[in-house]
Amino acid sequence: MINEERVTEMFHMAVYDEHDEKKYRPMNEYYMWDYVGKELVKSFFTGSIAFVLLVGLWALADLTAVVAYVNNADLMELVVRMIVLYVAFLAVYLLTTAIVYCIRYVRGRKHLRRYVEHLKKVRKMYQH
Amino acid sequence: MTGLLELKDRFIRFYSKYETWLFPVIKFFVALTLFAMINAHIGFMEAVSSWPAAFVFALVCAVLPVNAMIWLAAAVVLADMYALSLEVAVTTLVLFAALFFLYFRFAPENGIMAVLTPVTFGLRIPYIMPVAGGLLRGISSVFAVVCGTVVYYYLDGIHQNAGTLTSVDTADADQPSRFDISIGQLLGNKEMYLVIAIFVVTAVVVWIVRRMEVDYAWTLAIISGMIIEIAGLFIGYLVLGINGKTVVMLVGSIGSMLIAFILQFLFMNLDYARTERVQFEDDDYYYYVKAVPKKMVAVRDVQVKHFGNTGSMGKRIEHTRHVPNAEEEEHSHRVLAKEFDIDEDLLK
């Protein structure tokens, strides 16, 4: 005889396994700041690449200005300006990453808690 | 109002029932519109920018995830840019790569917003995007809207300067290079910066107001969002000295507001759950479960009341309960069996 209550609980778990397991797995494996830290490291690299690409675009557009900087021996000024821009860009980018992934972690933990509730119920049912 | 709610319920029932087919069909039409617009505006390479090609791409997009539409559209745009000039293609590639690194870190699940933003720009109703993002998606949808806006303004600039780009004399050092012209569409486009700023503020305000615990939060969110957009863009156009866009903006805003209210009607308090098909097992059984969501509003229960002596009416009304005959019963079994994917014999 099929236990309908058990099927309902197992259904919720199966839906989680099918759709959300991959998405919320890190929230189960990491503490909040480890998870956010991992994402910050990833963002450091992607942000740096994005910055280089954007600077590359600017350099292509304003090649004469870049050449003028180099010719006038203002290379140091250019480098300092780039570093300041890079730090400011990364600060905004990393701050956004921290906020977004903190929210994701909190939401993910809520989903996990619901999943564990179903898991507990199913376990109880099998024990009786 | 009840009639409208019933209509909404019917719509949801219909969508739930045929979701498996409807979602790819919707994706197909969105993709077809997208590729048709690319063809119309920047279709420089005939091999990828023809109607048959657009049709095939749309078919492919219909069966793949939404983000595949972004990749395919990006590839078609790059091919078109390459046909225009190598320098423009390089600029576009670098721009797309930068947007990829900025966008996919935060909002990969909002691919549809990134796709729809340039499309709505083409239809002159882009003002719906930040409002729809704030209403239906999370705050992270603003990244997708910004990326879509950047792509639209860049490609529109290329479209408008296509003649100049093709006639550039590369040997003439005094003339601006193709890099200058193509990147200039991006870096020197003040209107784009204005629109991005207004869109970001709008999306954030709509999202905050929509979440407030006040009556008519959705309506307030839509109205406040549209006011910010209209006022912000109007003042911005005045300050930047951009002429001839105010009327289009006003008409587009009114159209966007109407769409926003339709979205509100369709999606507010929508307890839409997908029909799920899952498989699992325990020690005794394999389960193949199809879970059909319960619906919210019952379809109107039509009751006919008769007053006075019904016996004097031309036709006698049968008050006894209708007992289905064998044929009707067999038919209802067949329908139920089909609906729940089960063996018809089980119902006998």
Predicted confidence (pLDDT) at residue B340 exceeds the cutoff of 70: no
Which amino acid is residue A80, in one-letter code?
A: V
Which among B51, B54, B44, B53 is positioned nearest to B79, based on CA atoms?
B44
Q: What is the 3-state secondary structure (H, E, C) of A31-77?
A: CHHHHHHHHHHHHHHHHHHHHHHHHHHHHHHCHHHHHHHHHCCCHHH
DSSP A74-97: -HHHHHHHHHHHHHHHHHHHHHHH
Residue contact A14–B279, C-beta within 8 A: yes
What would the two tokens of residue A18 be?
């099918």
Predicted confidence (pLDDT) at residue B329 exceeds the cutoff of 80: no
Report the pLDDT value the prediction gives residue A69, as an integer from 0 to 100.
72
Compare B88 and B348 and report the one with higher pLDDT.
B88
**A38 located within any domain:** yes
In this prediction, what percent of chain B has a pLDDT beyond 70? 80
**A48 located within any domain:** yes
- Nearest-CB residue to A97 (from B105, B280, B291): B105
**A37 located within any domain:** yes
Number of Cβ within 10 Å of residue B283's Cβ equals 5
* B87 neighbors B168 (Cβ within 8 angstroms): no
Report the pLDDT value the prediction gives residue B296, as an integer from 0 to 100.
46
**A43 located within any domain:** yes
**A83 located within any domain:** no
Q: Identify the bridge partners of residue B286 per DSSP, sorted by sequence position.
A: B281
Report the pLDDT value the prediction gives residue A91, as an integer from 0 to 100.
95
**A76 located within any domain:** no
* A36 neighbors A94 (Cβ within 8 angstroms): no
Report the pLDDT value the prediction gives residue B293, as an integer from 0 to 100.
65
Mean pLDDT of B192-207: 94
Q: What is the tens place of the pLDDT at every residue in B262-277?
A: 888 887 766 555 667 7
Q: What is the tens place of the pLDDT at every residue in B117-168?
A: 999 998 899 999 999 999 988 888 888 899 999 999 989 888 888 887 777 7
Range of the domain at A42: 4-56+89-127
Compare B174 and B3 and report the one with higher pLDDT.
B3
- Name the CA radius of gyration of chain A, rounded: 25
Q: Does B151 touch chain A (CB under 8 A)?
A: no
**A16 located within any domain:** yes
Report the pLDDT value the prediction gives residue B32, as an integer from 0 to 100.
93
In this prediction, what percent of chain B has a pLDDT beyond 90? 31
- Nearest-CB residue to B280 (from A10, A46, A56): A10
**A68 located within any domain:** no
Q: What is the tens place of the pLDDT at every residue in B44-69?
A: 888 888 889 999 999 999 999 888 88
Predicted confidence (pLDDT) at residue B190 exceeds the cutoff of 50: yes
Q: Does B98 touch chain A (CB under 8 A)?
A: yes
Contacts of B291 in chain A (CB under 8 A): 11
Highest mean pLDDT among A61-75, B18-32, B278-292, B308-322: B18-32
Report the pLDDT value the prediction gives residue B111, as an integer from 0 to 100.
82
Predicted confidence (pLDDT) at residue B316 exceeds the cutoff of 50: no
Q: How many Å apart are CA B152 and CA B114, to the nearest integer?
A: 10
* A40 neighbors A98 (Cβ within 8 angstroms): yes
The domain tally of chain A equals 1
DSSP B270-315: ------EEEEEE-SS-EEEEEEPPPPSSPPP-------S-GGGSSS
Q: What is the tens place of the pLDDT at every residue in A34-57?
A: 999 999 999 999 999 999 988 888
- Nearest-CB residue to B278 (from A2, A6, A18): A18
Q: How many Å apart are CA B130 and CA B210, to the nearest integer?
A: 13
Compare B263 and B310 and report the one with higher pLDDT.
B263
